[in-house]
């Protein structure tokens, strides 16, 4: 549910719930009050009108009060002239909103309502004998008042009347109580409903916000091993999910940084170790020449050749370190051009053969290409790929007579190069990982040459930038074969008769080279 929908729902419920509860409250409370009126005032069939039309209740009370008063005065007319008695009765009537009037002949003998002048009463009150013509228990309406009349004769024979009068606009205590209770309960229902809906919205918003606050504090303090739970409010749930994604990325970034730092330290350690070996050898052979240990031309030549080879090893390690920094910044320089595969590999093999002879390794080259294939590649970086693969084969060569075979094959739109050696091989569990950066199958560094662990990762990176692919197969104690493929260059079609090229003339290759040069 969205926050907008939640607020809209709460608004609707704030209207509907009070209406429903107030309707039920009115029904049950009114029924209870009507039963109370029936019991208290003896109303036969009380209706809702009995509550808001107080004249019905007032008339009933006036009938009861007049019955009691008429019995007293009828038995003893002298009481109608007893001021003390009249004051006492009037006080009782006033609690019900009724006041007492005694008329003797043509004058007002007693006025229980001082705010109404006697002259007005004489003018407005019905004449003697009217009680015989009234309906509903001698009750009649006199202007804004309801009157109850009882006629009698004083002891001296003068005609007299007793009046009980009540204002029509008066609200009875029962009606006041009923209205007060209704208003109180309605306000209570509104308050409870509003608080309930507010709490519902508050809980739906504040709980996930508190979780986000805790998450932000954890991220601030570097604690990333937690999970940001979602919310049932759509907008806040989206925010929680963004927070969770940010946390995951920060954690991954932190882990990658730790891994990078660890790999960088390992690289420095590996290269320091690997540089130490040729430096020690160069120093030893140089001292041998200086001290005259190499006392024959053949020996001197062998010492110098060894120094040369060790210097090449050092140059290769330094070159790998330089290339490593370029890989990390994705700034490997490429100069793509068209290369004739046969001619290019012939030159590379000629250079490698001299070095392999010096190392006592037999190098064989087989070209199975049917045509003179052409590829788009950087000759310098492709040569680095070949040298790194050969160096890796030499590094893990454990046979007395080493053998390396290089083969070129035609595989449809690609040329495939194979580099096979008879080294110690790679365990199957490690074959898929040899192109990972810093991964070395010889973790204990017991190989003769050691290694930085980034040579084959450089191979993979360069070939991927050439839109090529590299993989390996191996058997332990038999040898390893490393393969890579590169797409052939397709010659553009012949020009049209009008001298214009077709619209699709080799645009893919040109865009590919242009994009790579931008990198």
Quick check: 271 and 452 in contact, CB under 8 A? yes
Quick check: 463 and 419 in contact, CB under 8 A? no
pLDDT digits (tens, 9 = 90+) for 152-190: 888 888 889 999 888 766 555 566 677 788 888 888 888
Residue 74: count of CB within 10 angstroms of its CB: 14
- Which pairs from 242-248 meet CB under 8 Å and 24+ separation? 243/212, 243/215, 243/216, 246/219, 247/215, 247/219
The pair of three-digit structure tokens given for residue 286, joined into one six-digit string: 């140089």
Q: How far apart are CA 103 and CA 122, in angstroms?
A: 8
CATH placement of domain 332-493+501-518: 3.30.565.10
Task: Report, as an integer, the average pLDDT of 435-461.
Answer: 66
Give how far Cα 325 sits from Cα of 79, 330, 365, 484, 515, Å: 125, 9, 33, 24, 22
Helix axes of 297-328 and 341-359: crossing angle, nearest 10 degrees? 130
Q: Which of 118, 72, 119, 110 is nearest to 91 (CA)?
A: 110
Q: What is the pLDDT of residue 419?
A: 96
Residue 506 dihedral angles phi and psi, to the nearest 5°: 50, 30
Greater pLDDT, 27 or 112: 112
Q: How would you class 452 by CB atoms within 10 Å of its CB: exposed for 0-12, middle for 13-18, buried for 19 or more?
A: buried
- Our CA angle for 145, 173, 184, nearest 5°, is 130
Task: Report, as an integer, the average pLDDT of 107-128.
Answer: 86
Pairing of strands 374-377, 361-367: unpaired
224-330 shares its CATH topology with 332-493+501-518? no
Label residue 410 by pLDDT band (50, 70, 90): very high
Q: How far apart are CA 448 and CA 397, in angstroms?
A: 9
CATH placement of domain 53-170: 3.30.450
Question: Of the ranges 52-56, 285-289, 366-370, 393-397, which one carries the lowest mean pLDDT score?
Answer: 52-56
| Contacting residues for 211 by C-beta, under 8 A, at least 6 apart | 228, 229, 240
Q: How far apart are CA 326 and CA 378, in angstroms?
A: 16
Q: How far apart are CA 433 and CA 144, in angstroms?
A: 106
Reported in sequence order, the residue ranges of 378-494 that DSSP labels E, i.e. its strands, are 402-411, 414-421, 469-475, 479-487
- Give yes or no for residue 513 having a pLDDT over 50: no
Quick check: 376 and 337 in contact, CB under 8 A? yes
Give how far Cα 144 sits from Cα of 49, 52, 147, 373, Å: 19, 17, 10, 121
| Contacting residues for 311 by C-beta, under 8 A, at least 6 apart | 278, 282
Q: How far apart are CA 474 and CA 433, in angstroms?
A: 12
Q: Any idea where the domains of the chain sit in the sequence? A: 3-47+176-208, 53-170, 224-330, 332-493+501-518
Task: Report, as an integer, the average pLDDT of 405-409.
Answer: 95
- Give yes or no for residue 438 having a pLDDT over 50: yes
Residue 307: count of CB within 10 angstroms of its CB: 19
Label residue 256 by pLDDT band (50, 70, 90): confident
| Contacting residues for 55 by C-beta, under 8 A, at least 6 apart | 146, 168
pLDDT digits (tens, 9 = 90+) for 66-88: 888 888 888 888 888 888 999 99
pLDDT digits (tens, 9 = 90+) for 198-222: 888 777 777 778 888 888 888 888 8
Helix axes of 83-94 and 54-75: crossing angle, nearest 10 degrees? 160
* Mean model confidence pLDDT for the chain: 80
H helices of 341-450, in order, are: 341-359, 379-395, 428-431
| Contacting residues for 506 by C-beta, under 8 A, at least 6 apart | 490, 491, 492
Report the topology of domain 224-330: Helix Hairpins (1.10.287)
Helix (H, G, I), strand (E, B) or coil at 291: coil
């Amino acid at each position: 549910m969205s926050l907008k929908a939640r607020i809209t729902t709460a608004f609707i419920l704030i209207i509907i719930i009070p209406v429903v509860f107030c309707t039920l409250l009115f029904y049950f409370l009114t029924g209870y009050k009507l039963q109370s009126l029936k019991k208290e005032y003896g109303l036969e069939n009380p209706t809702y009108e009995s509550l808001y039309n107080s004249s019905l209740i007032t008339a009933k009370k006036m009938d009861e009060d007049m019955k009691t008063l008429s019995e007293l005065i009828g038995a003893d007319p002298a009481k109608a002239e007893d001021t003390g008695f009249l004051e006492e009765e009037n006080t009782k009537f006033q609690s019900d909103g009724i006041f007492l009037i005694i008329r003797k002949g043509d004058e007002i003998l007693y006025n229980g309502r001082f705010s109404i002048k006697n002259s007005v009463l004489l003018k407005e009150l019905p004449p003697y004998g009217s009680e015989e013509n009234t309906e509903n228990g001698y009750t009649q309406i006199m202007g804004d008042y309801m009157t109850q009349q009882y006629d009698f004769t004083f002891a001296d024979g003068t005609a007299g009347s007793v009046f009980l009068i009540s204002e029509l606009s008066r609200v009875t205590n029962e009606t006041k109580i009923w209205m007060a209770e209704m208003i109180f309960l309605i306000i209570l229902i509104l308050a409870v409903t509003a608080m309930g809906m507010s709490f519902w919205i508050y809980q739906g918003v504040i709980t996930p916000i508190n979780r986000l606050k805790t998450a932000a504090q954890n991220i601030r303090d570097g604690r990333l091993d937690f999970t940001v739970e979602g919310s049932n409010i759509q907008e806040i749930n989206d925010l929680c999910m963004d927070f969770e994604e940010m946390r995951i990325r920060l954690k991954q970034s932190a882990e990658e940084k730790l891994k990078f730092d660890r790999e960088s330290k390992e690289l420095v350690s590996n290269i320091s170790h690997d540089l130490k070996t040729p430096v020690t050898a160069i120093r030893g052979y140089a001292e041998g020449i200086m001290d005259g240990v190499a006392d024959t031309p053949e020996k001197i030549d062998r010492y110098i050749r060894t120094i040369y080879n060790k210097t090449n090893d050092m140059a290769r390690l330094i070159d790998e370190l330089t290339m490593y920094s370029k890989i990390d910044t994705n700034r490997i320089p490429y100069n793509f051009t068209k290369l004739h595969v046969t001619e290019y590999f012939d030159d590379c093999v000629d250079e490698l053969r001299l070095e392999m002879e010096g190392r006592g390794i037999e190098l064989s080259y087989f070209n199975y290409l049917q045509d003179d294939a052409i590829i788009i590649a950087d000759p310098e970086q492709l040569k680095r790929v070949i040298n790194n693969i050969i160096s890796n084969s030499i590094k893990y060569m454990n046979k007395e007579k080493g053998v390396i075979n290089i083969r070129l094959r035609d595989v449809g739109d690609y040329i495939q190069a194979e580099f096979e050696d008879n080294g110690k091989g790679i365990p199957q569990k490690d074959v898929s990982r040899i192109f990972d950066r810093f991964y070395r199958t010889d973790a204990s560094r017991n190989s003769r040459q050691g290694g930085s662990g980034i040579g084959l990762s450089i191979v993979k990176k360069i070939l991927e930038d050439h839109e090529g692919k590299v993989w390996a197969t191996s058997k332990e104690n038999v040898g390893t074969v490393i393969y890579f493929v590169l797409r052939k260059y397709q010659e553009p079609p012949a020009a049209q008769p009008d001298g214009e090229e077709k619209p699709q003339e080799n645009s893919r290759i040109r865009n590919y080279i242009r994009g790579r040069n931008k990198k």
